[in-house]
Every structure is written in structure tokens, then in C-alpha cells.
């Protein structure tokens, strides 16, 4: 082998070694599972989960409809059949699906059939979207447990539905509590969400950790 060839081989070996080290140093993808819930305004459902131990991300979006790539305007006009919803990525080693369900129930009014709080319409109705038999089993058990507890004085109308495509909402809706906190807080108070949750659940009502 020529001297030039030997030098080139050495350079290639060093480059390969550096690439291997870089690949080893690259962090592994965050562990996680997914849950999808509809509980009325997705701005408020985001803050029910944000900041809690084990929550990796919360995304506002639309699910449960047949149209592809729905827009906020289309969903609001009842043109697509989608629910406003949130997709939660979480670490099952730090927070369980059962715990997510408990947060969900105590963040909504499960007895309201025409929407949630001041928001009326199909897109604001509450639902749990289950992706696996285990999720369905846990969701159904949590609903039965809530019904038999008699904590609520009216029938529970929240549906348990098969998960379908989740379409992230427009960027301006994501983390709205950060982007426009005054409008977010004004809306939340004006809609009576926290007041109704307190009346339904008392001290068990979920209070956002971020606001």
C-alpha cells in the first residue's frame, strides 16, 4: 500500500471512529406512551397536564372526525365531526394511564352532554379515545367506578371511543397559556370552568400547575 493510501485509510478510520462515538453520545428518544382526551377547550385541557411529573408533552388538536387535516374554522363550524382534544405523551414509569384518567375526570364535567362549560357543540363534548385493549379496560373501569361512587348527581355522558388519527392544531393554539396568558385567563374565568369544577368535585377538582 502506498504512503498516500495508508494516510487516507487512517483518516477514514478516524472519521468512522468519531462517527461511532457521536452516534453513541446521541441521546436516545424519550420513552413514552400516548393518551388522547377530549374535555372541551384544548387550551384548558393542556394546562390540566402540563408541568406534571411524567408528562413529556401535551399537544392540542383534533380527533374523532373523518376529514383529513381539519382546520380550527372547519371544526368550529361542525363540518368535520372532530373533537377538540389533547394528545399526551407520557412516561409510564413515572405516571400511569390510570392516573391520567383520574386527572381527566377531575378536569371536566362528565355530566354535560352539549359541550363543556360555556362552550356548546359536538367539538366540545368530552370523550376518552382508547388505542389499546388495556386503555379501554382502564377507561371503562374508571367510568364504572365513578358511576358507582355516586359523587356526581347526574348520569355520566362522557364517551369512550376508539382512537383515530390525531391532527395537531394550528401553532397559535399550542401552549396558548404561554403565548397569550391574559386572554387565556380571561377566557377560562369567563367560561366558568374552575367554578363548575369546584362545585362538582370540591377539593378533588384539578387545578393547573401552570397558568
CB 129 within 8 A of CB 91: no
- Tell whether 169 is covered by a domain: yes
Domain span at residue 67 reads 33-204
State residue 32's pLDDT score: 82
User: Which residues does the annotation mark as catalytic?
Assistant: 41
- Tell whether 21 is covered by a domain: no
In terms of phi and psi (left: phi > 0; alpha: psi -120 to 50; beta: otherwise), the region of 157 is alpha
Identify the DSSP state of 121: S
Tell the residue number behind the cell numbers 358507582, with chain if given. Answer: 148
- Tell whether 9 is covered by a domain: no
- Tell whether 17 is covered by a domain: no
- Tell whether 27 is covered by a domain: no
Which residues of the chain are under the pLDDT cut of 50?
A: 1-30
pTM for the whole thing?
0.84
User: Considering only CA atoms, which of 162, 150, 143, 53 is closest in space to residue 104?
Assistant: 143
Q: How many domains does the chain have?
A: 1
State residue 210's pLDDT score: 84
- Tell whether 199 is covered by a domain: yes
State residue 31's pLDDT score: 59
CB 9 within 8 A of CB 1: yes
- Tell whether 142 is covered by a domain: yes
We report the CATH number of the domain holding residue 138 as: 3.30.1060.10
Element (H, E) at 110: none
- Tell whether 165 is covered by a domain: yes
Amino acid at each position: 500500500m502506498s504512503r498516500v493510501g495508508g494516510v487516507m485509510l487512517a483518516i477514514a478510520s478516524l472519521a468512522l471512529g468519531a462517527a461511532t462515538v457521536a452516534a453513541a453520545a446521541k441521546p436516545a428518544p424519550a420513552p413514552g406512551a400516548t393518551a388522547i382526551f377530549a374535555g372541551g377547550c384544548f387550551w384548558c385541557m393542556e394546562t390540566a397536564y402540563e408541568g406534571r411529573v411524567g408528562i413529556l408533552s401535551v399537544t392540542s388538536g383534533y380527533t374523532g372526525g373523518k376529514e383529513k387535516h381539519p382546520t380550527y374554522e372547519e371544526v368550529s363550524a361542525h363540518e368535520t365531526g372532530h373533537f377538540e382534544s389533547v394528545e399526551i405523551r407520557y412516561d409510564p414509569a413515572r405516571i400511569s394511564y390510570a392516573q391520567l384518567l383520574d386527572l381527566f375526570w377531575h378536569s371536566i364535567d362528565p355530566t354535560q352532554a352539549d359541550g363543556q362549560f360555556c362552550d356548546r357543540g359536538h367539538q366540545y363534548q368530552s370523550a376518552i379515545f382508547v388505542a389499546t385493549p388495556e386503555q379501554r379496560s382502564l377507561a371503562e373501569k374508571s367510568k364504572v367506578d365513578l358511576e358507582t361512587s355516586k359523587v356526581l348527581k347526574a348520569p355520566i355522558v362522557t364517551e369512550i371511543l376508539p382512537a383515530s388519527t390525531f391532527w395537531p392544531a394550528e401553532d397559535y393554539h399550542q401552549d396558548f397559556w404561554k403565548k397569550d396568558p391574559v386572554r387565556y385567563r380571561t377566557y377560562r374565568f369567563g367560561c366558568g370552568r374552575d367554578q363548575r369544577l369546584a362545585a362538582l368535585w370540591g377539593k378533588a377538582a384539578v387545578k393547573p400547575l401552570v397558568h
